Amino acid sequence: MVGGCVSVPAAEPLRQVTDALSPRVLALGDCGLFVWEAAPSRRFILFSQASSGTAEVLLEHQETAFHINTQTGAIADGQYPSQELEDGTGRVLALDLSNPQRINGGTRFRQGKLTGLAQDGWEWVVPVVGLSACQTPE
C-alpha cells in the first residue's frame, strides 16, 4: 500500500468573464450614471453613484470596482458628468460626458469618452454615451 500527502495552494476566486456589466437596479430614491460604448454594440461598460463614491467598470471583460476620486461639471440627477476613478491597484480612469439633453426620467449625454493608460503606457480612449437617472415614486 502506498500513501502520501499532497498540498495544493488555494486557488484565487475566479472572476466572471463578461461582455457587459450586469444590469443595475436603482432602489427608490437612488440615482446613478449609466454609460455605454458609443458603438453599434452599445455595451454597458460603466455604472457610478456619486452618493456612494463608487463605480463599476468593465475592463478586460471583467467587472472592476473603482472609487470616485473627483467629480466635476453641472450636476444632472445627482451625478457629475466628469469623474476621475481609481481602483485598488492605482489604475486611474477619466470619464468625460458632454452634450446633455434633459429627457423624461433623466438626462442623456450624447457624447463622451472614457480614457485610461494601458500597461505599456499608451493611452486608450473609448467613445461613450451616458444616462443619469433617479428612481422616484411613481
Assigned domain for 10 exists: no
Distance of alpha carbon 98 from alpha carbon 7, whole angstroms: 55
Q: Name the grid cell of 79.
A: 451625478
Residue 96 belongs to some domain of the structure:
yes
For the whole model, what pTM was predicted? 0.84
Is the distance from CB of 64 to CB of 56 less than 8 angstroms?
yes
Whether residue 3 is contained in a domain is answered as no
Cα–Cα dist 78/85, whole Å: 17
Strand locations in the chain (E): 31-37, 44-49, 54-59, 62-72, 82-86, 92-103, 106-117, 123-134
Counting the structural domains of the chain, the total is 1
Q: How many degrees, rounded to 5, is the angle at CA 54 between CA 50 and CA 124?
A: 100
Using CA atoms, how far residue 22 sits from 46, 71, 86, 104, 131, in Å, is 10, 24, 20, 24, 16
Residue 26 belongs to some domain of the structure: no
Domain that holds residue 53: 31-134
Per-residue pLDDT of the chain (138 residues; tens, 9 = 90+): 444 443 334 434 434 567 899 999 999 999 999 999 999 999 999 999 999 999 999 998 899 999 999 999 999 999 999 999 999 899 999 999 999 999 998 999 999 999 999 888 899 999 999 999 999 877
Distance, in Å, from the CA atom of 47 to the CA atom of 130, rounded to the nearest integer, reads: 9
Task: Judge whether 11 lies within some domain.
Answer: no
